[in-house]
Amino acid sequence: MADVFDQMIARIRKIIDAGLDADATMRVLEILEAPFVSEGILEKARLYSETLPKAEERPFTPTERYLHFLWDAFDKLPLCLIVPFSIPFRRLVAERLFEACGRAFVCEENVRFNFGQFLTVGDNVFFNRGVFLDTKGGVEIGDSAALAEDVRIFTHGHDEASHMTRSYAPVRIGAYAKIYAGATLMPGVTVGEQALVASGSVVTHDVPPNMVAAGIPAKVIRERRTGGRSGEELEHIWLF
């Protein structure tokens, strides 16, 4: 069965790399065994992110639009549950949609972002289920960092006097950091290398390297118990 999945990924890669338009997207959907969508609908399709003000500053290219469509559509299909296919498929799309995507990217189902082109991930990064990334202000995630279930990251805000006045600030997560389930990172926050953010925390200020932050709002509570290890010695291995 692994050979079958490898062949499917190879066919999809060939189609995408030859140039992604409505016809090519339909051929990818056929390989994914998706319900029929007409070429006319795909050509006229407008994604939610394209209705946002940021899209006026940085319009989607046709390829970005179709890659976004495939990313979100895939999680509505049975194949999204088949790990030997779904992780390589998401990695294939990410490598072509994100600003940068390192090797061995692992992404579970129902991960959403509004502008993949403002997202940078390093090597061996892991996203668990239900992650939401508001990437309008830019999100950078270092090597071997992890986002657990239902993590939320925001990079923009609105003025209280006028909803039309917006501000943007990037979020950065250092290498070997872990953001645990249900945590929220607010605009402009930097989580340092090897830092940990506890489940359910709301981070409004930077977390220094090798520290543990917890609470609402999050505060540094102690140093990470590394046992003298660092980097690869921390064994950030996500799936076997």
In a shared domain, residues 93 and 108: no
**DSSP SS3 for 74:** helix
In a domain, 65, yes or no: yes
C-alpha distances in Å from residue 60, one per residue of 56, 79, 82, 102: 9, 27, 30, 22
φ and ψ of 141, to 5 deg = -130, 125
- pLDDT at residue number 152: 98
- pLDDT at residue number 239: 84
pLDDT digit string, tens, across residues 132-172: 999 999 999 999 999 999 999 999 999 899 888 889 999 99
In a shared domain, residues 210 and 119: yes
Kindly state the tokens that stand for 38.
Answer: 């007409």
Q: Is 158 a catalytic residue?
A: yes
**DSSP SS3 for 129:** coil
In a shared domain, residues 211 and 119: yes
- In eight-state DSSP terms, residue 144 is T
Catalytic hit among 158, 163, 205, 236: 158
Task: For residue 109, give every residue at least 6 positions away whose Cβ sits within 8 Å of its Cβ, in sequence order, or none.
Answer: 75, 80, 81, 86, 129
Overall pTM > 0.85:
yes
Please give the residue range of the domain that contains residue 113: 104-225
In a domain, 157, yes or no: yes
In a shared domain, residues 5 and 86: yes
- Domain total in the chain: 2
- pLDDT at residue number 240: 73
